[in-house]
Amino acid sequence: MALKLKVRRQEKLMINGAVLEFSNDAEVTFLNRASIMREKDVMVEDQVTDLWSAAYFIVQLIYIDIENKARLGAMFRRVIGDLTNEYPEKREELNRLLTSFDEDNFYECLKLIKNSSVETKEGAV
């Protein structure tokens, strides 16, 4: 199944670890599986401020370079354990997250973390 993205001028995409900057608006079609992140979704280490962002950052590192999984997997599981302790009402979502992680579905993990993080922060307001 193909993935089609519309990319704006000067927007950056990270594709399998390589960063591409587009000089013009473009429509890009990916015909096979690739690790793709838009610039707006990339987190830098300085942005890690809580457990949710730590989980996101770890998964992002693995998504960009799968060889990081062996090194960072235990750290990710500790963060998920801490999140489960802090937010027991999120246990089911966090278990889905671990399942996606174990299946190497890192894009799904990033989406689940982002959604859970927003819900938790909105609930705290």
Q: Kindly report the CA angle at 64 between 58 and 66, in degrees rounded to 5?
A: 80
Tell me: the pLDDT tens digits for 11-70?
A: 999 998 899 999 999 999 999 988 899 999 999 999 999 999 999 999 999 998 888 899
Q: Which residues fall within 8 angstroms of residue 22, CB to CB, at 6 or more apart?
A: 7, 8, 9, 10, 11, 12, 13
Report pTM.
Answer: 0.87
**DSSP per position, the chain:** --EEEEE-TT-EEEETTEEEE-SS-EEEEE-S---EEEGGG---GGG--SHHHHHHHHHHHHHH-TTHHHHHHHHHHHHHHHHHHH-GGGHHHHHHHHHHHHTT-HHHHHHHHHHHHHHHHHHH-
Residue 58 burial by Cβ neighbours in a 10 Å radius (0-12, 13-18, 19+): buried
Q: Give the pLDDT score at 125.
A: 45
Tell me: the pLDDT tens digits for 85-123?
A: 999 999 999 999 999 999 999 999 999 999 888 777 766
